[in-house]
């Protein structure tokens, strides 16, 4: 769970609160401006598929830059050192590139409005309904945890009661999404991306200066934590001990493949941004453009965690003192003057709201189109679904507020969030990847593969790891193993079920399986899309090579 120590109250003044008020005013202004473009349900749920790649690309990375990213990864940096970069360079970039180059042509070309809707076309109603319900439930739970995490941060930093922070932030997210739909959420996410950077970059620069620059930082950490603390791969041999409790095999397969690909390629809160792009070329470039800032996010998230460890050597060392989660707030308290402090607080608030808005906007799309419109109220006029989407948005925010209050009674919320992806996203990725590349895969195989993979991950985590049947040194390692188990079991079940059931007719799979195309998948590039620097293959492989090169300074 994200908890902050006592004594982190920030010395804010009227200037800081004025900056915060200005941010809220701009957020609502963007929502009101976006309302003019919302005339149909497609406008509300997918921005009319009209947005340029640079906008959807920045929104894609901002939607992921939430509470667990900033506070959680800074905490991991302080606790685990350079091992944390694995979550970016093998735990994000390859999967984002795969999404852009391989999967977006199927998502966008099939004209689906959501990730579960693709399963409807490929496998049928059973897989569609199961994945829709799972995603709708997980979306509002994660939105609520974002709200709760933000509330306890603002309580510690500004003295706001938790319920005030939950209601205020929830109201603003509700207002700008209900008014302007996905366009409002996306344009606000672009704003939030720059606000977040405006908060984290000064924090990093001032912090580095305080500890004597990069060399001063590395010298201090090497002397206090050893040489391996600032390397990414030392101690990851099979059988070797390291703070993560993971070896190179579980890092590469568990994090780098199944967990990473499961999250980035099937999480509709991210994919929705690419589906709102103006054409197939822009849709493919959305995660590829997002990959480049994602590569460098560790500089302003992980590095501050390392700086905080030097400035506060007792961080995480005592039960009642400063904890690793306090890394960013400690730096804000000790380094930033008023005005800049207001920007930093606004940046944190923007990060929480971006995470919540991404989950709420994806929830309203899935619930309205994939549950309500597909099974409960079929065939209504478009205006009905537009109104329903707005009502569902309000319901989703209210449920998120409720789950935020419920979340306050749990002591292991952070661990719960980390296991969600191994439970749900990894099995979903198995179904997608086999269904996209094996034409023979049957409709029954999709349903049973998704169900068995989810159950297998839960059994491994709760039945084996939690009960001590298998010894795994850490929660992180357990999540990696659960992901591998989910992938293997789901894949085996899909193969076995496919071999004893009847496949779908080949003519119904056009544009849904690799090697087939539908007429809608013909790419008509817009002016300028054929420029060499916009080629998806160049962007994708360039991001992979750059991420690999970033490992060099942390390999020795």
Torsion angles phi and psi, residue 258, rounded to 5 = -70, -45
- The Cα 188–Cα 28 span in angstroms is 9
What are the tens digits of pLDDT across the range 4-19? 555 667 777 888 888 8
pLDDT at residue 474 in the model = 67
pLDDT at residue 449 in the model = 93
Which residues fall within 8 angstroms of residue 38, CB to CB, at 6 or more apart?
A: 44, 180, 181, 183, 386
- pLDDT exceeds 80 at position 223: yes
- As beta bridge partners, residue 51 has 277
- As beta bridge partners, residue 277 has 51
pLDDT at residue 544 in the model = 95
pLDDT band at 411 (very low <50, low <70, confident <90, very high): very low
Q: The tokens 């992938």 sit on which residue? A: 487
Which residues fall within 8 angstroms of residue 234, CB to CB, at 6 or more apart?
A: 227, 228, 242
- pLDDT exceeds 70 at position 375: yes
What are the tens digits of pLDDT across the range 479-508? 778 888 999 999 999 999 999 999 888 888
| 149-161: b (≥16 Cβ within 10 Å) or e | bbbbbbbbbbebe
What sign has the CA pseudo-torsion 464, 469, 475, 476? Answer: negative
- The Cα 32–Cα 175 span in angstroms is 9
Contact 231, 248 (CB under 8 A): no
What are the tens digits of pLDDT across the range 433-443? 899 889 899 99
pLDDT band at 409 (very low <50, low <70, confident <90, very high): low
Secondary structure of the chain: what % helix, strand, coil (to 5)? 75, 0, 25
Which residues fall within 8 angstroms of residue 520, CB to CB, at 6 or more apart?
A: 109, 110, 111, 511
- The Cα 422–Cα 479 span in angstroms is 6
Contact 93, 547 (CB under 8 A): yes
Residue 101's nearest CA partner among 535, 521, 549 is 535
Contact 235, 241 (CB under 8 A): yes
Q: The tokens 């707005």 sit on which residue? A: 390
- The Cα 336–Cα 332 span in angstroms is 6
- Three-state DSSP at 423 gives helix
The stretch 113-124 carries a mean pLDDT of 87
What are the tens digits of pLDDT across the range 319-342? 667 777 778 888 888 888 888 888
Q: What stretches of 36-72 show up as alpha helix (H) in DSSP? A: 41-46, 53-64, 67
CA 146 to chain centre: 12
pLDDT band at 138 (very low <50, low <70, confident <90, very high): confident
Query: How many percent of the chain have pLDDT more than 70?
Result: 90
What are the tens digits of pLDDT across the range 287-318? 999 999 999 999 999 999 999 999 988 877 76
- Tokens for 399? 């449920």
Q: Which domains does the chain have, with CATH numbers?
A: 14-412+548-554 (1.20.1730.10)
- The Cα 140–Cα 278 span in angstroms is 28
């Amino acid at each position: 769970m994200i908890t902050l120590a006592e004594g982190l109250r920030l010395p804010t003044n009227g200037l800081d609160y004025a900056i915060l008020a200005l941010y809220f005013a701009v957020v609502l202004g963007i929502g009101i401006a976006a309302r003019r473009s919302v005339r149909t349900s497609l406008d509300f749920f997918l921005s009319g598929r009209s947005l340029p790649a640079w906008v959807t690309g920045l929104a894609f990375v901002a939607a992921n830059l939430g509470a667990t990213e900033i506070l959680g990864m800074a905490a991991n940096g302080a606790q685990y050192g350079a091992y944390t970069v694995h979550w970016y360079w093998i735990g994000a970039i390859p999967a984002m590139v795969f999404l852009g180059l391989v999967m977006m042509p199927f998502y966008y070309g099939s004209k689906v409005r959501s990730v579960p809707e693709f399963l409807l076309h490929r496998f049928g109603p059973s897989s569609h309904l199961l994945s829709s319900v799972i995603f709708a439930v997980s979306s509002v739970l994660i939105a609520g945890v974002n709200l709760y995490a933000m509330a306890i941060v603002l309580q510690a930093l500004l003295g706001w009661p938790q319920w005030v922070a939950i209601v205020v932030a929830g109201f603003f997210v509700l207002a700008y999404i209900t008014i302007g739909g996905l366009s409002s959420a996306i344009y606000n996410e672009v704003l939030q991306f720059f606000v977040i950077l405006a908060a984290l970059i000064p924090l990093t620069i001032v912090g580095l200066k305080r500890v004597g620059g990069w060399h001063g930082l590395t010298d201090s950490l090497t002397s206090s934590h050893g040489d391996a603390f600032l390397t990414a791969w030392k101690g990851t041999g099979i059988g070797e001990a390291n703070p993560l409790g993971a070896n190179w095999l579980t890092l590469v397969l568990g994090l780098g493949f199944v967990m990473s690909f499961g999250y980035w390629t099937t999480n509709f809160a991210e994919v929705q941004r690419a589906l709102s792009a103006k054409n197939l070329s822009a849709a493919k470039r959305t995660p590829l453009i997002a990959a480049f800032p994602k590569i460098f996010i560790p500089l302003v998230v992980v590095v501050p965690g390392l700086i905080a460890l030097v400035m506060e050597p007792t961080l995480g060392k005592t039960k009642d003192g400063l904890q690793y989660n306090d890394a960013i707030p400690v730096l804000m308290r000790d380094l930033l003057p008023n005005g800049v402090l207001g920007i930093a607080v606004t940046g944190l608030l923007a990060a929480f709201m971006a995470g919540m808005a991404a989950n709420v906007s994806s929830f309203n799309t899935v619930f309205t189109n994939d549950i309500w419109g597909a099974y409960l109220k079929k065939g209504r006029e478009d205006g009905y679904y537009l109104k329903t989407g707005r009502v569902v948005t309000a319901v989703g925010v209210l449920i998120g507020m409720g789950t935020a209050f419920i979340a306050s009674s749990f002591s292991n919320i952070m661990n719960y969030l980390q296991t969600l992806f191994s439970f749900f996203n990894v099995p979903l990725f198995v179904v997608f990847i086999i269904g996209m590349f094996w034409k023979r895969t049957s409709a029954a195989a999709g349903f049973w593969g998704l169900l068995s993979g989810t159950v297998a991950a839960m059994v491994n985590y709760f039945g084996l790891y939690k009960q001590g049947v298998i010894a795994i040194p850490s929660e992180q390692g357990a999540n990696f193993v659960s992901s591998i188990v989910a992938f293997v079991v789901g894949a085996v079940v899909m193969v076995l079920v496919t071999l004893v059931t009847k496949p779908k007719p080949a003519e119904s799979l056009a544009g849904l399986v690799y090697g087939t195309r539908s007429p809608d998948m013909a790419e008509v590039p817009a002016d300028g899309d054929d420029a060499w620097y916009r080629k998806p293959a160049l962007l994708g492989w360039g991001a992979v090579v750059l991420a690999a090169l970033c490992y060099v300074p942390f390999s020795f």
